[in-house]
């Protein structure tokens, strides 16, 4: 099937090894809403957003902090995406598209390193875009 990513070979075994290390890690991560982080999202099923490179990571924005261990995130891509399931913005001269349909709850153990903080204006716009999807 042309254009279908189901046939792309994914290294689930390498991701499972890293995932086990993340799970047993005792590192404490301090984060705030509106921050953009590199995050180990892993190798996922079907069209769920995958991470890249050795840490299976991709940029995310912290949408909501529930406690010191759990947060809602939205994966980001540097690809120019449009449509109701995306919110495109620029932050520190870098272009991103937030993949609104891929919002998810994660453990702070997946956070790798902080990149920057997004503007209040973009943060509010992302939240409004999510509300429109509901």
Specify the DSSP class assigned to residue 52: B
Distance CA 99, CA 103 (A): 7
- pLDDT per residue as tens digits for the range 58-90: 999 999 999 999 999 999 998 888 899 999 998
Mean pLDDT, residues 92-104: 92
For domain 5-133, the CATH class is: mainly beta
At residue 71, φ and ψ (nearest 5 deg) are -150, 155
- Please report the sign of the dihedral spanned by the C-alpha atoms of residue 36, residue 57, residue 41, residue 31: negative
Query: What burial letters (b/e) apply to 80-92, b meaning 16+ CB within 10 Å?
Result: ebeeeebbbbebe
Give the chain's end-to-end CA distance (angstroms, integer). Answer: 32
Q: Is the pLDDT of residue 133 over 80?
A: yes
- pLDDT per residue as tens digits for the range 114-132: 999 999 999 999 999 999 9
In the chain, what are the domain boundaries?
A: 5-133
Closest by CA to 104, choosing from 63, 64, 72, is 72
What percent helix, strand, coil does the chain show, rounded to 5?
A: 25, 35, 40
Distance CA 77, CA 30 (A): 23
Q: Which residue has the tokens 């870098």?
A: 94
Q: CA 122, 36, 99 angle in degrees (round to 5)?
A: 65
């Amino acid at each position: 099937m042309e254009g279908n990513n189901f046939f792309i070979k994914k290294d689930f075994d390498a991701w499972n090894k890293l995932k086990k290390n993340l799970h047993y890690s005792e590192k404490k991560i301090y984060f705030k809403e509106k921050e953009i982080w590199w995050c180990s999202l892993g190798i996922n099923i079907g069209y769920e957003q995958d991470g890249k490179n050795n840490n299976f990571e991709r940029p995310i924005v912290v949408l909501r902090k529930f406690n010191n261990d759990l947060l809602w995130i939205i994966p980001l891509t540097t690809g120019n995406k449009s449509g109701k399931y995306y919110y495109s913005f620029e932050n520190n001269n870098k272009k991103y598209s937030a993949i609104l349909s891929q919002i998810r709850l994660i453990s702070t153990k997946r956070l790798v390193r902080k990149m920057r903080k997004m503007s209040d204006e973009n943060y509010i716009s992302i939240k409004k875009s999510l509300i429109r999807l509901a």
